[in-house]
Amino acid sequence: MKILHIVHSYPPYSFGGTELYTQDLCEALSKHNRINILASRFKEYGSETTPTENILENIGITFFNRHRPETYEQTYFDRRNDERFLALIKHFSPDVVHVQHLLFHSMSFINILTEASIPFVMTLHDYWYLCPQCFLTKTDGSLCNGPGNGDICLSCDNADGNGYIPPSRAVLKNGSILFFLKFAGYFFPTSIREWAGSWVIRQKRNAIRSTRGFLETKERLRWMVSYLNRAGRIISPSEVISERYNAAGVNDIIVIPHGVRSSNITPGHDKYEQIANRHLAFGYIGSIMPHKGLHVLIEAFKLANDTRAQLLIYGKAGDHPEYDLFLRKLATLPSIRFMGPITHESIFDAIKTIDAVVIPSICTENFPLVANEAFFAKTPVIASNVGGLSKLIVPGKNGFLFEKGNSGALAEILSHLIANPHTLSVMSRSIPPVKTMTEHACEIENIYDRAIAANRRKQKYEST
């Protein structure tokens, strides 16, 4: 079978969860299939389109350059790469296309696949099709309940000066009056401030509803749902993201949790044998970005303030210099150690040094790969109670949950485990086996077979 995977980026240009999942899945699928990967990259890396390069046996990769959006619509529907995409599918002639992510590509690719009668499936890795920011998270760290009809996107503070959402305040009626009331109100008594605040919100929402921006965000949502519903199959790795998309009007989503790349890894409990006689090691593994909530973990570790524990932070810095500097200033204890970036291949070596993996995300996580990787290595996970994390973790069985952003609640869990390290040993032994990527690839191949069969039946019906 010839399979084309479309993803927004790919190693060595990016090492996010979606990219690494795609890499692992393609390697597993390549044992019995011919794979081509289409990814995007920034223009400074070279020509508009790279020739397909064989990176492994049965795996080739092609990069399209990213284009800076000139309009809001082009952030999701940009036809400047359509001809290149059409040339690619004509040359490779895939039996099925697996859309991992269309960020930095274009939803117009769906039109091309439909017109060419090529079956395709899609995996929902995040909320980009519903939320231009991908994570359904507001600037203050609070979670968004969803796009509504588009007006919620515009009332989000992320709308202002952001290329992914049309500006809102710039087009509001009586903008200067609203601005004055918002700040001058703080000089008045509480009752007046509350009245003024509610009035500002009402006026802001009323103005938004009549703007072009509202129409654009509403149109984006409508098109996204329409395009998703054209897929032969839609896959979600968690029930949480499936439910959110179902509520928006996306149909027939099948939930299939990811598998774990498991080559040369032997799960075991050896590291807990002498846990009562040594320092406990809590660990963070992942991107160092504000929405990942690493600052919450550092604050919690400082609150626990116990010399019997250390905090190991594995991850690449540099994408958010101001946040990096903030974390360095926050991490005043010598037992907090920044271990630097690690490769995907060495992640289990890092987990071996950690007694409990901490995932302190303040955004709505879908299916963090590191949680499954920790479970595969029989390592408990402590995580914030958001998104798919709340479904993966059974408190007291395979880890603990704490309120998103609540460093005090996390500190209590850390202190409890430092005082009772045997708890981690007990939980480690109760973690059930985790599905491997090879097993997961078999599930995905079955999805491909069904999509291909359904497409053939459709073509046969339309030809009669």
DSSP string, 434-445: --BHHHHHHHHH
Of 55, 107, 116, which Cα lies nearest the Cα of 89? 116
Please name the fold of domain 270-430.
Rossmann fold (3.40.50)
Q: What are the phi and psi torsion angles at 104 (to 5°)?
A: 70, 0
DSSP 52: P
Give the residue extent of every domain in the chain.
2-123+437-463, 151-217, 270-430
- CA 150, CA 49: separation in Å to the nearest integer? 34
User: Residue 155's pLDDT is what?
Assistant: 66
Q: What is this structure's pTM?
A: 0.84
Instruction: Give yes or no for a contact between 371 and 381, defined as CB atoms under 8 angstroms apart.
Output: yes
The per-residue pLDDT string of the chain (464 residues; one tens digit each, 9 = 90 and over) reads 999 999 999 988 888 889 999 999 999 999 999 999 999 988 655 556 667 788 889 999 999 999 888 888 899 999 999 999 999 999 999 999 999 999 999 999 999 999 999 999 999 999 999 988 888 877 666 678 777 777 677 666 655 445 566 654 434 434 444 444 444 444 455 555 556 566 555 555 555 544 566 678 888 999 999 999 999 999 999 998 999 999 999 999 999 999 998 765 655 567 888 888 899 999 999 989 888 999 999 999 999 999 999 999 999 887 889 999 999 999 999 999 999 999 888 999 999 999 999 999 988 778 888 999 999 999 999 999 988 888 889 999 999 999 999 999 999 999 999 999 999 999 999 999 999 999 999 999 999 999 999 999 988 888 77
User: Residue 388's pLDDT is what?
Assistant: 84
**Same-fold call for 2-123+437-463 versus 270-430:** yes
Instruction: Give yes or no for a contact between 369 and 377, defined as CB atoms under 8 angstroms apart.
Output: no
CA atoms within 13 A on the CB side of 240: 19
| R_g of the chain, CA atoms, integer Å | 24
- CA 139, CA 131: separation in Å to the nearest integer? 13
CB-based burial, 215-250: b 16+ in 10 Å, e otherwise:
ebbbebbebbbebbeebbbbbbbbebbbebbeebeb
- CA 54, CA 7: separation in Å to the nearest integer? 17
CATH 3.40.50.2000 fits 2-123+437-463, yes or no: yes
Coil, strand or helix at 424: helix
